[in-house]
Structure 1
Amino acid sequence: MTRPAPRRPVGRAAAALAALAFAGASLAACTGADDRWVDELPGTLTIATGGTTGIYHGYGQALAAVLEDRYGIDVEVLETGGSVENLHLVADGTADLAFTAADALEDAAVGRGDFDEPVDVRALARVYDDFEHLVVPAGSDVKDVTDLRGLRVSTGASRSGTSLIADRVLTAAHVDVTDLQVSELGITESIDALRDGTIDAFFWSGGLRTPGLVELAEEMPLRLVPLADVVDPMRAEHGDGYRHGVVPEGVYGSTADVETLAVPNVLVVPAGMPDDVAYGLVATLFGNRGTLAGQVPSAALLDRTRSIYTAPVDLHPGAERYYRDSKI
């Protein structure tokens, strides 16, 4: 299978986040790791993220800014299609860190679906959970997945985690993709197309609150279509990585809680990453959680007691040592 070409880097994180003012206390935060791990890094540390209006990308930019400011590390943040592409980029050596949803990670770990062979990665942390969004204008007649038949629907960028889940949601709802007028758009393009009226609905798998959707909801009334009915069939078919989730009232202007599908996100690295580097990266995540959360609210969900649950792949030995040293 032809590997995807790397997407363009979106600047250097320090320049992109020049407005960040790191307090002295943040810069002095103890990482719990000997700073000499930095010497084992490649010349440039590359992080594979997602679309620029999604949480993966914001999280990657914020982490890159901390690494550059705290250690002087040269960091490149890649804009990508998301989980599936990110895992290919780790597999071919283009990326050193990658954000991925657990369902795409399971396919990569066993070599199925979009992966011709297993991808040898390990986890640094479970970082936060994604919620499946089926987004329509507030006045849309779409009440459930079956109402999408005949409509113009974006199922996510090709080789993205969103596309993977959208296909599974449609299958669980007994909706054939050929019954839709499908576009394969990333989150930024999906938002633009719904705003312009060139699509009727789009799928998006992302954390709360996805920045681009927050902005869109300020411009036009939106509604999320409930997806609770597909969760149990998807768990039965694909495993316990899927669970019931709720998008709370008020998110994106919603007037009630919306029951949907949730899946964990994991930060992964090549299995061969030096143990001290993996340790140092995890220590940096936790030592600067407040700074990261100031830019990406989902970073506040980082929790040592939950971050160790990284199924379907094991923790990297360096990460495992960090959690053990932290008495988890």
Structure 2
Amino acid sequence: MRRNGRVSGVARAARLLVAALCSLLLLTSCSGPLAGDAGEYTIAGGGTHGIYYAYASEISTQLREGGLDITVTSTAGSLDNLRRVADGRALLGFAQADAAADAVAGTGAFSKPEPIRAVARVYDEYVHVLVPESSSITGLGDLRGKRVSIGDENSGVRVVATRALAAAGLSEGDFTPVSLGLDDSVTAMQNGEIDAIFWVGGIPTPGIERLAVTTPLRLLPIPADVVETMNSEHNGVYRMSDVPEGSYGTHSSIQTMTIPNYLIVSAGAPDALVSEVVATIFAARPAMSKRVPVAALLDRRQAIFTAPVPLHPGAEDYYTSHRL
């Protein structure tokens, strides 16, 4: 397959994926982890307004062009994606590093260690705490007594929101938690039904961009002491950063924190299959980034840093053979 004079590696990758999957299905008699329904496979994305879903859609498009029958499933977010990959309902998924760390350790929302491995560190996500521009809320402490969307029950957003608010000195009794995903949070803020939204995602997140057009927004800063407290209790995966000036119409940069984001797979996935998944996403990066800008951030030198989640051996094979 040739595009604009360049040979694409996607077709080859997908053919090898199909072969690997067929071998797996023969071994599993079409049951158990990674077995699809009539040969159909899924990537666990998030809500349809978020970057997870957009990125997953691009990956599935690239794989389908090579002949693999794979689609995107809308989900509640990181926790949901981790469970779907662990129990075989999804071949691939996106997850925040903090939620993935809990999954492999069997802590937090997970009652036992889950068989999760990393394919790649794909990009870092920014924590957004959003309020209407006209709001009197200026910091996390001002959320006391307010209606705060903290994400779906099975989302990574909820993990971050509850930890950040606790680190800022607020318990659930100090505010009114509202369990909404991004799609419903956007609608609720447009209707004046909530006072603030927690969101974790790349910049720009499509749903927030659209919300900012109809409802001018401000982002609340996340102080360094809040991040330090969170890191002392949760694997040290959080980093200080800034939301750039101009994001979502803002007039200055805002201090916040970032969380690495991983593409994940089951520990039981065949090595050859995972190696070819990695080859596909790197070969397709230029095409994907035209529609999902964060895809341009995929970098072989950074993709291997997925601790505390181990890389899948198939991913390790790819990175070893493509050392810079």
Gaps of 5+ in 2: 22-34
1:313 pairs with 2:309? yes
Is contact 2:14-2:64 (8 Å) kept? no
Shift of residue 171, structure 1, vs aligned partner: 0.6
Shift of residue 25, structure 1, vs aligned partner: 4.0
Task: Show the counterpart of 2:18.
Answer: 38
Gaps of 5+ in 1: 1-21
1:242 pairs with 2:238? yes
Task: Show the counterpart of 2:175.
Answer: 180
TM-score under structure 1 length normalisation: 0.90
Shift of residue 233, structure 1, vs aligned partner: 1.1
Task: Show the counterpart of 2:252.
Answer: 256
Deviates more, 1:88-97 or 1:161-170: 88-97
Task: Show the counterpart of 1:50.
Answer: 46
Shift of residue 23, structure 1, vs aligned partner: 7.2
Shift of residue 30, structure 1, vs aligned partner: 2.9
Cα distance change of structure 1 residues 27 and 215 upon mapping to structure 2, 3 Å threshold: farther
1:172-211 map, 5 Å: 172-211=167-206
1:1-328 map, 5 Å: 24-25=3-4, 28-30=7-9, 35-41=15-21, 43-69=39-65, 71-229=66-224, 230-328=226-324
Shift of residue 239, structure 1, vs aligned partner: 2.5
Identity percentage of aligned residues: 44
Q: Deviations over 1:193-241 (max 9, x none)?
A: 1111111111001111000011111112100000123111111121221
Shift of residue 27, structure 1, vs aligned partner: 7.9
**Residue aligned with 2:290, SS:** helix
**Residue aligned with 2:127, SS:** strand
Shift of residue 26, structure 1, vs aligned partner: 8.4
CA distance in 2, matches of 1:319, 1:28: 23
CA distance in 2, matches of 1:314, 1:238: 17
Shift of residue 34, structure 1, vs aligned partner: 8.8
Cα distance change of structure 1 residues 240 and 175 upon mapping to structure 2, 3 Å threshold: same
**What letter corresponds to residue 48 of structure 1 in structure 2?**
A
Task: Show the counterpart of 2:29.
Answer: none
TM-score under structure 2 length normalisation: 0.91
CA distance in 2, matches of 1:45, 1:52: 18
Quote the RMSD (CA, aligned, Å): 1.6
**Residue aligned with 1:53, SS:** coil
